[in-house]
Structure 1
Amino acid sequence: MPEACDDDNAVAGDGCTSCTVDPGYTCYFNRPSFCYDTAFVPVFTGNGDALVAALGTAAPGEVFVLKAGSYKPSGGASITIDQDVVMVPETAGAVTRLQGSADGGAILVVGLGTNVLFAGITFKAEADSDQAVDVDAATATFIGCEFQGRGSQGQGLRAHNDARVTVRESLVHSSAAGGIELDTPYFTLVNDMLYGNGTGGGGGSEFGGIWVNATPDAASVIAHVSISGCSGKDGQSGGIRCDGDMDITSSIVVYSAPMAASPACSFTESLIDGAPELASATNLHLLGSSPAIDQALSSVELIDFDGQARIGPRDIGADEL
């Protein structure tokens, strides 16, 4: 029987006990789970402007449970967070979207010194040159999220100024200026899918799927990512661009131009420029005939993109068949 939650059982009755959700609690994702007491956390039902106002007066550690729908501030404003908060949807799997048209800016700006957690949230830019998310000198964790930038400068996610970012089990797609730019040494990317990023404008984008635009810290990780159909401009990687030495493990990088990866990227137990047998150009799950199956022999990752368990020899990429 699959676990309903898992928080390492540090404290009984904290929302997840013996891998079972406690009565009156809701838990999101696994290993570790985030749980909250539904009696004390109201569901936020306002619009985008109300959300901006509420974030502006948030208490440290405040939890925002968003009702399904779109939250778009008026007047092209960004949603700026300068306090430690958690944001999750009321219903797991329901589309809960932060969107906007802050031309030349970002839809979500995570500011200096904050520590935030997002689970199951979609970030979608609408105006040209918009990033979906900008993390500036903050700590941010995104689990089960979706990112879509827009226009020639619109990246899915940019982290910079020594930001510390974790992106897990998330989807980054259709961002013309590239998927994820890591202008920071500190990052963890695991079980992510990226497609259709970096088509660019004019001379093309500086990268396609992922850009490691700093010398990575020894603890930084890129593992079990699947990248397909991403494009960089001439001489720049369409799949993964590394400006400092970076070893990527258990990953798939295919159908990306002008090349899958730049020379500073190295790969362990990965499938690069092969025929991975994926479901489609926009569905990077494995087919039963994929050569990626059971080939991540040294991986100890416990779950995949969909949260299902990885058992035995792991599959390369974000999906475990």
Structure 2
Amino acid sequence: TAEASIDQVIGMMVGRTIYQTSPEIPDQASREVVLEVRNLRRGSVIRDVSFQLRRGEILGFAGLLGAGRTEVMRAVFGADPIDSGEIYVRGKRVHVKNPKDAVSHGIGYLSEDRKRYGLTLGMDVESNLVLAALTKFLGLLGWMKRAAARDTAARLVDTLAIKTIGLPQKVKNLSGGNQQKVVVGKWLIADTEILIFDEPTRGIDVGAKSEIYRLLNELARQGKSIIMISSELAEILRLSHRIVVMCEGRVTGALDRAEATQEKIMRYATMRNGGSHSPHAGRAAP
């Protein structure tokens, strides 16, 4: 009918209810800052980028192709070097020189290319799930605690509703949505509290997108802190508590969800050589 929303139409097409509920807006004043980035620089790619992430929120990063969002997050995760800048985790300055350092500080990164950087496609579901936390399952003599690893993996498969014929199934044979859930599970097993999602729904169908949306909101409700890069403005507006906008390596704007619109985001996303890229950009209200 004319009154049917886009979500309702898609729901009828895929035979599933598309997740519509807006995220619960956290009381920012009661949320600790778990990650703060100050004046991050790398050549002309990252230019004095600063922002804060609070516990239990989803911080969206919007911008056009080449804005520098992925480059910033790869630098925060230690995958790429920086020229200057500071990173603080729970108020303490940390030096993240490589991904291992990032993981040790509770930071996980879900790449936009999950098949290349997030998964080992030729390995099974269990192996992929425990890959980032192997030390948790090593005994005194260095032997793998297979039963403990298997039990943990099975619990995550159930918790995340990963559709698989079993733990021995090769990850390459899973759907895109279920592959993404395996990557999420990997970082949850590794006890990461800060999760960076780079294009979390790229390459998955509309029904699976709904499941990823539900998962992101549930993780935030559980107190996980999430950074989400997305090129889909509707996705940014639907999921984010706050939105940071970038253009040509700079933070050009920061919006609370209540004031954010596609028009405002696009205005900031095309604001070359201008906008707010001060250390206060992207900070939640005190």
Same fold, TM-score > 0.5, yes or no: no
Normalized per residue, the structure richer in helix is: 2
Q: Which has the higher contact order (CA 8 A, sep 6+)?
A: 2
Normalized per residue, the structure richer in strand is: 1
Normalised to the residue count of structure 2, the TM-score between the two structures is 0.31
Normalised to the residue count of structure 1, the TM-score between the two structures is 0.28
